[in-house]
Structure 1
Amino acid sequence: MQHYELPLIAAGRLIEAADGGERYVFYNDDVEFAIPRLDDLSFQAIRDADGIPLRNCSVNDIIGFLSRIGKLWRDDDYPLRRLLLDLGPKATGESVDTYRHSLDLFIGLISTKAYLGDIIDAELRNRLYLDEWVPYHNVYLRAEPLGRLLHIIVGNVPVASVYSLVRGILTKNVNIAKLPSRDVVTLSLFARSFFDLAPEHPITKTTSVVYWDRNEDQWIDRFMDIAHGLCIWGGEKSVEIYKSKARIGVEVIEYGPKLGAQIIRWNEADAGNLPIRVAHDIAVFDQEACFCPQIIYLEGNIDSFIEALSEALERYTKIWPKGQYEVDHYAHMNYVKLAHLYKGGDVRACERLSWLIVKLPVGHDIALEHPLGRTIYVRPVHDVRECVQFLDCRNQTVGVDPIEVGHELKDALAERGVQRISNIGYVDIPRLGLGHDGKYLDRLVRWAALERERDFNCKIYDVPYEEKLHNTLVAD
């Protein structure tokens, strides 16, 4: 069995487990991963990390740092990249091709300075708010970091951990990331690369990557006590636990469990590459991501659509092979398959259960727990407008095709609570201006305002009290 020791990262310090020291140990695919246990000294170093040097860094400096990190990871010969592409799929169960795709997609984005700057401008209106006091109506406005930002990371989508950390860095926060047991590798090695680039940089000095077990309340409570902001990724239970422990005044940004769906007006003659685009959105992350579709609402000939989608999903087993799953997963898929066959349903499946399509009868909805792993339900509708009633705030992303369907339904979907209406085939490539789960960078900062002098182009409103007070104060 391959053994690999991961460091604990405590505010710019790499802490290796001493010989015989206490470790957390994880086993995945014949690989043993170990990470040192937290102790009082590590916690004190994290608690005492000085955020002032990072606050005083310019946005351009921060963007430059992240861009150089991205360029390191784009180099096929970079040792940590080679190591992560070896260990990452083993830790997560994803296929090597799927893991490499998601890693390269995100690394490609953060290595682009213009993209990082545009994210800040799109989500904070102006990147200068992070560097200086900017005139804004009757005040000067500045965006200050929250302080210590605690990230509770989930393991189903490996790059989500990097995404969360990068956004914390862009807003100049002191970042503490708690690794998930399902993937202790991805974020650990990504943060480890900061030391290869600039070990003394304020970003390196204010980044911590740690782990604790879910039953270690002493560490949960201690870190919750020092956090000024909280990014929670995970299932309902995890979100509830950490939200319940948040102190008053702590900004809580939750990325809880969500579902994806698609709405399609199918015309086989004009379909083009739609089936392969649908298959892409199903196959990416093996549906583990909250934006991946679990059900398709289809207006049109459902049988011809299912035939085309079957061929496309089979093609994707060669483009991105399905990840490794326990026997229980395939038992779950097989149960769903047999249950719908027993009820007289129409089911298509790969012999290896690399994918599964379930045609729902008219008027029926998903009645069984969704097994994911490229399982898709297709529900016929006479008109796409019928499907709105089945969608709500649990549906983070709804893919539409043709795009005119999105324009037709945008108001109804937004009223129901849908956060994102996307182009099918690009679900893993969010467009600039989109906030994941409807949450933008302004949640990661606090706003400070300096009022302008009242005689400097100040707006005086026709309010009797304000006018009377103004006249009194300026009188000789």
Structure 2
Amino acid sequence: MTPALDLDALIWSRRDAGPAFETPLAEIVDFLVEVGKALDFDKNAYLQEAATLNLHCNSLGARILENCYRDIGWFFTREAVEAEAEQSLGGLGANDGWVRRDIQGQAFDIRAFPPRMVHILAGNAPIVPPVTIVRGAISKGVHLLKMPSNDMFTATALLRTMADVGPNHPVTRSFSAAYWRGGDTAIEEHIFRSQYFDKLAVWGGEGAVRHAMKYAAPGFEIISFDPKISISLIGREAFAGGPIAEIARRSAADIIAFNQDACSCARFQFVEGTLSQVDAYCEALVTEMGKDVRYGNGQGGPRPPEALLDELAMLGNLDPIYRVFGQPDGAGMVVRSPDPVAFNPGGKLVNVVAVASLAEAIAHVSVATQSVGVYPLGRIGQLRDGLSSAGAQRIVGLGNINSGKFGGLPHDGGWPVHRMMHWVVTEAEKEPTQP
């Protein structure tokens, strides 16, 4: 049902500079701020249309999708955009041209030159297109957005809004969005080439990332935002006399956002305490998972796959070594175990592991661990070096995994805009010394 693609329309000629290559970054920031103002869901027909159409192909419900679209404008605030530029590039305006540096007594001019990029977007949450567009605009490069089959509407809604705000603005003319079936060699083998693009940024699952990697070649780099999982670490302070329901509420927010379908959603939790304390926590957690959060369904949410339900039934027969809490009704389930289960929990199912010390959890952290939510916040200092050495990339307070700020922080262990840029150095004649 999608239109045939004109391959020539998907590229920008290397013989010509990109539309925004020489546009001052301050002007780009001003434009993005105006775009953000135009992304008011109640007034933006494109976002409203995207929210309606996405119901046919996205796993998130109407309430969650609408809340996502209502918050998209936040990515375009001046504070967020400037922070992303300053921290990624070493200062606001650092990619506005050639910068003279004296290095080891010799003069050099260095430029963060705008890139030419393809972005393979993920469709599990509508935050990927705005993040990609803001970062791409900051880079001043040209960007082709390959839309996923489960979200063909968010990117186009944003680009149509940009076209209304500034139809001939250099940033507007620096983006295109298109859809083709993933892996279609008739398209990909023709355009995923260094004569057209410098880099391919891929979001998504292991299959998507491995597929993209096969196109890596001299002059054509792959930037991957790999599939990840997130975890929670809950110290014995949770049982020091306060209401365990409050701890469970924070924890549930980290689990069920985007119906546990995003990399940032906790799937494993390690809890310090006696078995009776941990079981009391599990009961409270099931209750809290059954309540709606801004980006997740409580009652009526997704259910674990049938294969997992069979395994849960088997584990339930091993009580008290394993214990299963909740029902497969979409409200949320917990399986408590002495060690992490061998399967990857999903469908609002979380694995709670009782531990004598939170340090034990570090053995189960790897480079696939994106975010770690910790309670209490004061325990982060004791754990962060060990977690980082094991591969974790982001450590926050419990309940804050899905409410963090965009702009100015590393993502997946790096600075994406910095990685996007084509860093060029030229030898320069040293300025004559004034008498």
TM-score, L = length of structure 2: 0.88
Instruction: Could you tell me which runs of 5 or more consecutive residues in structure 2 were left unpaired when the two chains were aligned.
Output: none
Question: Structure 1 counterpart of 2:255, which letter?
Answer: I
In 2, Cα distance between the equivalents of 1:417 and 1:192? 39
The CA distance in 1 between the partners of 2:431 and 2:293, in whole Å, is 69
The answer to whether the 8 A contact 1:157-1:285 is kept is yes
Q: Secondary structure at the match of 2:381?
A: helix
Find the aligned partners of 1:448 and 1:95 in 2 and give their Cα distance: 46
Q: Tell me which residue corresponds to 1:91.
A: 57
Amino acid of the structure 1 residue aligned with 2:314 = A
Give the deviation of 1:287 after TM superposition. Answer: 1.4
- Do 2:41 and 2:69's aligned partners in 1 also have CA atoms closer than 8 Å? no
Task: Return the match for 2:112 from 138, 143, 159.
Answer: 143
Once the two structures are superposed, residues 381-435 of structure 1 have per-residue CA deviations (whole angstroms, 9 ceiling, x without a partner) of 0011111111111111111111222110111111111111122212123345422
**1:98-130 Cα distance to aligned partner (Å, 9 max, x none):** 2233333332131x1122111111121112211
Confirm or deny: 8 A CA contact 1:98 1:284 kept in the other structure.
Answer: no
Once residues 268 and 156 of structure 2 are traced to their aligned partners in structure 1, the CA distance between those partners, rounded to angstroms, is 34
Q: Does 1:165 align with 2:136?
A: no
Structure 2 CA distance for partners of 1:136 and 1:126, relative to 1, 3 Å:
farther
Question: Quick check: 1:66 aligned with 2:36?
Answer: no
Equivalent AA in structure 1 for residue 79 of structure 2: A
What SS does the aligned partner of 2:314 have?
helix
State the SS of the aligned residue for 1:249: coil
Match of 1:109, SS? helix
Distance 2:156 2:30 in 1: 21
Matched residue, 2:70: 104
Aligned CA distance change for structure 1 residues 422 and 264 (closer, same or farther; 3 Å): same
Counterpart Cα distance in 2 of 1:152 and 1:353 = 31
Q: Which residue of 2 aligns with 1:472?
A: none
Report the residue type matching 2:326 in the other structure.
Answer: A
Is the partner of 1:275 in helix, strand or coil? Answer: helix
Q: Which residue of 1 aligns with 2:284?
A: 308
Letter in 1 for 2:221: E
> Do the aligned residues in 2 keep the contact of 1:290 with 1:396 (CA within 8 Å)?
yes
The residue aligned with 2:190 is 222
Evaluate the alpha carbon distance shift between residue 392 and residue 97 of structure 1 in structure 2; reply closer, same or farther with a 3 A threshold: same
Q: What do the CA deviations read for 1:302-359 (whole angstroms, capped 9, x no partner)?
A: 02211221221122379842598888x5524533431321333211124523311111
CA deviation vs aligned residue, 1:358-389 (integer Å, no higher than 9, x gap): 111x2x2212343x121111000001111111
Taking structure 1 as reference, are residues 47 and 424 closer, same or farther at Cα in structure 2, changes over 3 Å only?
farther
| Deviation at residue 240 of structure 1 after TM alignment | 1.6
More deviation, 447-456/175-184 = 447-456
- Matched residue, 1:447: 423
Residue equivalent to 2:258 = 285
8 Å contact 1:132–1:142 — kept in the other structure? Answer: yes
Q: CA deviation at 1:259?
A: 1.1
Max Rg structure = 1
The answer to whether structure 1 residue 355 and structure 2 residue 332 are counterparts is: yes
Query: In 1, Cα distance between the equivalents of 2:46 and 2:384?
Result: 43
CA distance in 1, matches of 2:344, 2:377: 30
CA distance in 2, matches of 1:322, 1:188: 30
Task: Name the residue aligned to 1:78.
Answer: 44
Residue 387 in structure 1 maps to residue 361 in structure 2: yes
SS of the residue 1:398 aligns to: strand
Does the 8 Å CA contact 1:397/1:422 hold for their aligned counterparts? yes
Q: Structure 1 residues 317, 114: closer, same or farther in 2, change over 3 A?
A: closer
Retained in 1: the 8 A contact 2:259–2:348? yes
Q: Does 1:38 pair with 2:5? A: yes
**Greater shift after overlay, 168-177 or 422-431?**
422-431
Aligned to 1:428: 402
Q: Over aligned residue pairs, what C-alpha RMSD do you find? A: 2.5
Name the amino acid aligned to 2:110.
L
Structure 2 CA distance for aligned equivalents of residues 227 and 319 of structure 1: 35
Query: 3-state SS of the aligned residue for 1:188?
Result: helix
Q: For residues 3-59 of structure 1, give each alpha carbon's deviation from its aligned partner in whole angstroms, at most 9, with x where no partner exists.
A: xxxxxxxxxxxxxxxxxxxxxx3xxxxxxxxx212134534x655795433011111
Q: Greater shift after overlay, 172-181 or 397-406?
A: 397-406
- Deviations along 1:129-163, one digit per CA (max 9) or x if unpaired, are 111333444334321112x2100111112221331
Identity of aligned residues (%): 24
Q: CA deviation at 1:455?
A: 7.1
User: Which residue pairs with 1:20 in the alignment?
Assistant: none
SS of alignment partner, residue 401 of structure 2: coil
Q: Show CA shifts across 1:429-462 (max 9, x none).
A: 33454221112121011223344545768xxxxx
Matches within 5 A, 1:39-54: 39-43=6-10, 46-47=12-13, 50-54=16-20
Structure 1: how far apart are the matches of 2:308 and 2:298? 14
Tell me the distance in 2 between the aligned counterparts of 1:356 and 1:97.
22
Letter of the 2:40 counterpart: R
Partner of 1:438: 413
Match 1:132 to one of 97, 111, 117: 97
Higher helix share: 1
Residues matched between the structures, number: 417
Contact 1:393 1:417 in 2 (8 A): yes
Which among 74, 79, 82 is matched to residue 117 of structure 1?
Answer: 82
Seen in structure 2, the aligned counterparts of structure 1 residues 170 and 322 have a Cα distance that, compared at 3 Å, is: farther
The aligned amino acid for 2:214 is S
| Counterpart AA for 2:4 | R
Matched residue SS, 1:448: strand
Matched, 1:56 2:56: no
Task: Decide whether aligned partners of structure 1 residues 98 and 51 sit closer, same or farther in structure 2, where only a CA change above 3 A counts.
Answer: farther
